[in-house]
A and B are shown apart, each in its own frame.
Chain A
Amino acid sequence: MPKQILILFAHPAVHNSRVNKAMVDAIADLEHVVIHDLYETYPDFYINIKKEQSALKQADLVVFHHPFFWYGPPPMVKLWQDVVLTRGFAYGINGSMLHNKDFMLAISTGGKEQAYQREGNNHFTIDELLFPYQAMSYRCGLQYHSPFVIHGSYNLSNEDILAHADRFRNLLVQYGEAGATALFANQKGGKFYG
């Protein structure tokens, strides 16, 4: 049986999305991938905790998939973390449900890669800005992997977008077959975005 992937997709304005929409479309047919659209499922921000937790139990790889906005996720993701990753489930005494699962971010940024450098406009690298997720992973016993990042989403041509989406799909297919090694193999010098 292929490794199971849970995509927690959060996009507050999916009707305007080019990049993230293309990524989701590209993986829609993969049987080992569950795409869970949080904004579509919980339009009133009332998250069904039990359902979320049982979905997490099924997954080998958990992916936070969302645009990167104000150096963080859309608010739904933070709320999801707050209410789903509870003590006794994700951490604390008996909180070992996520242990040894894989975790990865799939994000798009409006800014170009050069902007996410110490000397760039944003003054921090993507890896630095994502430290809270890394910390979350340590806390929950998740295996943190380098993020799948698409930069400069405003200026991408349709061909570029489709190529990125295809790359995303290949990665998930390989994970289904090979598990975490696929994620390591895809890292170029510690990161595989750009």
Chain B
Amino acid sequence: MDDHGLLFNALIYLFAAILFVPLAQYLGLGAVLGYLLAGVVIGPWGLGIITDVQDIIHFAEFGVVLLLFLIGLELNPKRLWEMRKPILGMGSFQVFITGILIFAIALLFNLSWQVALIAAMGLSLSSTAIALQTLKEQNLLDTPAGNKGFSILLFQDIAVIPMITLVPLLGVAQASSNDESGWLVALKVLGVIFALVLFGRYLTRPIFRIIAKAKTKEIFTAFSLALVIGIALLMQSVGMSMALGAFLAGVLLAESEYRHQLESDIEPFKGLLLGLFFIAVGMAIDFGLLLEDPVLILSLVALLVVIKFLVLFSMTWLFKVPTRQRYLFSFVLSQGGEFAFVLLTFATSVSALPVEIAAILTVVVALSMLTTPLLMIINAKFIEPRFSAVSSVPMDKVEPEDNQVVIAGFGRFGQIVARLLHANKIGTTIIDHNPDHIERVRKFGFKVFYGDITRLDLLHSAGLDKAKLFVLAVDDRQKGIQAVEMIREHYPHVKIIARAWDMIHAYDLLDHDVEIFERETFDSALRLGSKALNILGMPAHKAHIASQQFREHDLQLLLRMYAVHQDQSEIINLAQQARIDLEKLFEADQDVLDHDVEKEWN
């Protein structure tokens, strides 16, 4: 029945997502819940269209890997190092206290201590996918609660490694002979990380450069994907979680100038796979078990969520989460995570966990994932408003590192603009599509990113949503105008200023309401012209005033010609008009000489 073929299955997933996600969004439930519901409906317990759930989960878990890679890209090593305290402090607190409580309760259920320990380890972890996706979706990652939640998730990802090593030791059958001693594993892990650092530092740049020079977009995308998958598999082969490996790879590449391009290349894959993952989790909910003993299962779900919530809520005092965000912080991490699935499956395979208990726990974890979006709605609808009414004090926001200015084009023109801003301590993000520029320019100490400015996702990752000003200085006129149109549509708050090549280009810019522009050769030609006047005997200051006058007249002329240009029928006469205007201009200059006080100065 379920042998529908790959394309048909893909069609089902896509349709389910297309149907349920907008519906859930419309009802204010959030995308994650939409995916989960879609999974429930098409899964074995809903319409039963798809049945091979485990395979799908396994495949779609790669979405989590990509998610962590992308998050790694946004954190450079320095910021990660600054986070070491919350990661170790808060992370270990959450995992250990939650683990101990679950362990104790499991013992009360008359489970053996080994089984109780496995349950405690598996259930103490939260869902990186759900928590991070929710935080990102609501733009909360840069808030204190988001930051702290992320630290805990990171610790959990690290904690998985010793947990997985521990499970076989708890098994009845010690079959999966662990012939490698602990220190050897550790050595391997360190070796791989070291190799990764070297690779990230010295090899990625030239490789990216060569690939970027090939100017084939899909090859860049292919390389980005190959990079992430390769690193993830490498990490897995030495016993680390793929997600953690991808995260580290992301951190190492965070300072590369190709970061934004990587980001926008990987993003769509992450989105789709993560969606698929949520659908798979929805499908995995075993409603058979639920119907068999709904009271037990539902109370276990409630128990799990309540325990996790209470531990997290108590942490909000200990670790100074702002009052306003206490509930948000505690809700967002209160579910069981995807690592529980991995751990439970692994534990049954080494006979450390009875199959029936694993099945029950799996359902409990999956259902607990369903509660998070609901709790977030409760938080947004009922809890947040209470706080905003009490205190209008804004929450202490973490300053985003985004720059106010984005400069597109770092050729001979954009460079000067960027250097002037830089010299005045104004942060600028630079986009350029020429690998040579990037290479040359890094010597000046700028951060330059590689990419095509007509891609909306790139503009987004370059931070256009938070920028104030966009400086257009790319060589490709058409792409430049295209970018202006896109920014006007999607980021109407951003002011655009531009380098114009000549009058015709200036008209083009004026057509798109770019009113602040400078013609690239104009001012330097005027300066040279005023020097010519000076050499021919005109006093330097007088020559300067003359060039200023000329500048003013020329600008007026341009605007007048633009009006003519808008009237298409007269376009042929433009050049002629220009000559006549120029003559008039020189005549008119004589009158304007009044500007100088020279007549009165004797």
State the A residues within 8 Å of B (CB): 44, 46-49, 82-83, 86-87
Contacts and interface: CB of A to CB of B under 8 A. Distances in A.
Interface string B100-131: 00000000000000000000000000000000
Contact of A44 (B548, B594, B600): B548
Contacts of A48: 552
B595 interface: yes
Contacts of A46: 545, 548-549, 551-552
A112 B552 CA distance: 43
B597 interface: yes
Main SS at interface, chain A: loop
Interface-central residue, A46, A82, A83, by most chain B CB under 10 Å: A46
A135 to B, nearest CB: 16
A82 B548 contact: no
Interface in B548-584: 548-549, 551-552
Contacts of B594: 49, 86
B600 A49 contact: no
B595 A83 contact: yes
A83 B597 contact: yes
A122 B411 CA distance: 55
Contacts of B595: 47, 49, 83
Contacts of B600: 82, 87
Contacts of A44: 548
13 contacts: A44-B548, A46-B545, A46-B548, A46-B549, A46-B552, A47-B595, A48-B552, A49-B595, A82-B597, A83-B595, A83-B596, A83-B597, A87-B600
Contacts of A49: 594-595
Contacts of B596: 83
A168 B600 CA distance: 36
Contacts of A82: 597, 600
A12 B549 CA distance: 23
B424 to A, nearest CB: 12
Interface in B580-602: 594-597, 600
B142 to A, nearest CB: 29
Give the residue among B549, B552, B594 with the most A Cβ atoms within 10 A.
Answer: B594
A48 to B, nearest CB: 8
A180 to B, nearest CB: 30
Contacts of A47: 595
A169 B552 CA distance: 36
A86 B601 CA distance: 12
A49 B596 CA distance: 11
Nearest to A81: B597
Contacts of A87: 600
A82 B548 CA distance: 17
A49 to B, nearest CB: 6
A87 B548 CA distance: 23
Contacts of B551: 46
Contacts, number: 17
A83 B599 CA distance: 11
B527 to A, nearest CB: 12
Nearest to B597: A82
Nearest to A88: B594
A46 B600 CA distance: 18
A48 B549 CA distance: 10
A136 B496 CA distance: 44
Interface in B500-552: 545, 548-549, 551-552
A113 to B, nearest CB: 35
A86 B549 CA distance: 18
Interface string B79-115: 0000000000000000000000000000000000000
- Please indicate which of the listed interface residues B545, B549, B595, B600 has the most CB atoms of chain A within 10 Å of its own CB: B595
Given A49-B595, A83-B595, 14 more contacts: A44-B548, A46-B545, A46-B548, A46-B549, A46-B551, A46-B552, A47-B595, A48-B552, A49-B594, A82-B597, A82-B600, A83-B596, A83-B597, A87-B600
Contacts of B597: 82-83
Contacts of B548: 44, 46
Contacts of B545: 46
B597 to A, nearest CB: 5
A46 B552 CA distance: 9
A151 B545 CA distance: 37
A46 B530 CA distance: 15
Contacts of B552: 46, 48
A164 to B, nearest CB: 31
B518 to A, nearest CB: 13
Nearest to A87: B600
A82 B552 CA distance: 20
B472 to A, nearest CB: 22
Nearest to A79: B597
A86 B600 CA distance: 9
4 closest A-B pairs by CB: A46-B548, A82-B597, A83-B595, A49-B595
A169 to B, nearest CB: 29
B543 to A, nearest CB: 14
B499 to A, nearest CB: 19
A48 B596 CA distance: 12
A48 B594 CA distance: 11
Nearest to A45: B548
A150 to B, nearest CB: 31
Interface in B453-511: none
A86 B552 CA distance: 20
A49 B595 CA distance: 7
A132 B549 CA distance: 30
B218 to A, nearest CB: 48
B567 to A, nearest CB: 27
A62 to B, nearest CB: 20
B594 to A, nearest CB: 7
Nearest to B552: A46
Nearest to A50: B592
A44 B555 CA distance: 15
B426 to A, nearest CB: 14
Nearest to A46: B548
Nearest to B549: A46
A47 to B, nearest CB: 8
Contacts of B549: 46
A74 to B, nearest CB: 18
A15 to B, nearest CB: 12
Nearest to B600: A87
A87 B601 CA distance: 13
A44 B523 CA distance: 13
A46 B553 CA distance: 12
A158 B548 CA distance: 41
B522 to A, nearest CB: 14
A83 B594 CA distance: 8
A174 B549 CA distance: 41
A136 B549 CA distance: 27
A48 B555 CA distance: 13
Nearest to A44: B548
A189 B594 CA distance: 42
A48 B551 CA distance: 12
A124 to B, nearest CB: 27
Contacts of A83: 595-597
